[in-house]
Amino acid sequence: MGPAFQVIGQLFKAIDPDSFRRYEAIWEALAQRGGLGNIQSSNWQVFSTIALVHELTVGPHMDDGDLGDGWAAMFVRGVFSGGDLVVPALGMKFPYKQGDLVFMRSSELEHYIDKWEGCRTGAVMFTKVTTVEKLHEEIKKMLEQMKDEEAAAEAKKEEVAAEAKKEDVAAEAKQEDVVPSAKAKDEEAATPFATGAKEEDAIADVHTREAKRKSSPDESPSTMTRRLRSRTIVYTSKS
């Protein structure tokens, strides 16, 4: 039954989220009071009672004992023909075959299953009014707890979103700082060091040293070469 509860619970929540939350609180209250939680086969299981109806014909009726303003879920299995779901108040007859799932206000709408032939087993899930009356305070507390948990989860979600937004803003600001700096470095790298006035100064300095060498008889050619080479190395190392 686990897979069936899984599908039924998800569809129930999609159809009526508020009612699903109420039924969920009832189930949790029952599970805490007794051992009902020990037979839970799915986290989506929220109906307190399951009735299996095997080859049983029931006339027009309303399930007065079911929770008012609530829902019953029904599905059927077997090999049969006929067996449509009839709702006189609506003047309608619904095909009801294996694989069909029906949600209805069982305590408010008169209904019955039309004649059928073959082998047929129905499953009906519902929650009784008496169950809710006995667990009124527990259910109230459970609903309040669920509400608080949902509020806390929403607040946490907003906090995470705000933190993520803050990190994005910081990353964008950092990127804006990096881009101009990188651009400046690129421009500096693209500009030759030995250009303009710096190059002219360097050439003039070489000529000055050459003139001094000629006026200094004690300076050998090797000394001049070392000086020029030293100056050249310093000069080119900055380019």
Angle, helices 17-33/136-190, rounded to nearest 10 degrees: 120
Closest CA relative to residue 69, chosen from 26, 20, 126, 107: 107
Closest CA relative to residue 123, chosen from 132, 114, 113: 113
**201 in the same domain as 130:** no
List the strands of the sheet with 49-54, edge to edge: 49-54, 116-126, 72-82, 101-104
Residues 116 and 25: their CA atoms lie apart, in Å, by 37
Indicate the number of domains in the chain.
2
Domain boundary among 125, 147, 169: 147
H-type helices in 83-195, by residue range? 129-134, 136-190
In tens digits, the chain (239 residues) has pLDDT values of 678 888 999 999 999 999 999 898 888 888 777 666 666 667 788 898 899 999 988 899 999 899 888 899 999 999 999 999 999 999 999 999 998 999 999 999 999 999 999 999 999 999 988 887 777 677 667 777 777 777 788 888 888 888 888 888 888 888 777 656 666 566 655 554 444 555 566 566 656 766 666 665 554 545 444 444 444 333 333 44
**120 in the same domain as 64:** yes
pTM above 0.75, yes or no: no
Residues 57 and 29: their CA atoms lie apart, in Å, by 34
pLDDT of residue 75: 94
**223 in the same domain as 107:** no
Helix (H, G, I), strand (E, B) or coil at 155: helix
pLDDT of residue 150: 74
**211 in the same domain as 113:** no
pLDDT of residue 129: 87
The answer to whether residue 180 sits within a structural domain is no
* CATH code at position 45: 2.60.120.10
Closest CA relative to residue 83, chosen from 50, 121, 110: 121
Residues 143 and 150: their CA atoms lie apart, in Å, by 10
**115 in the same domain as 41:** yes
Torsion sign (Cα): 82, 84, 89, 91: negative
The answer to whether residue 154 sits within a structural domain is no
The boundaries of the domain holding residue 72 are 2-147
pLDDT of residue 152: 82
Measured at the CA of 176, the angle between CA 173 and CA 178, to 5 degrees, comes to 110
The answer to whether residue 107 sits within a structural domain is yes
pLDDT of residue 52: 92
**127 in the same domain as 192:** no
The answer to whether residue 41 sits within a structural domain is yes
Residues 39 and 46: their CA atoms lie apart, in Å, by 12
The answer to whether residue 85 sits within a structural domain is yes
User: Strand ranges (DSSP E) for the chain?
Assistant: 49-54, 72-82, 85-87, 92-94, 101-104, 112-113, 116-126
pLDDT of residue 227: 45
Element (H, E) at 67: none
Neighbours of 13 (CB within 10 A): 17
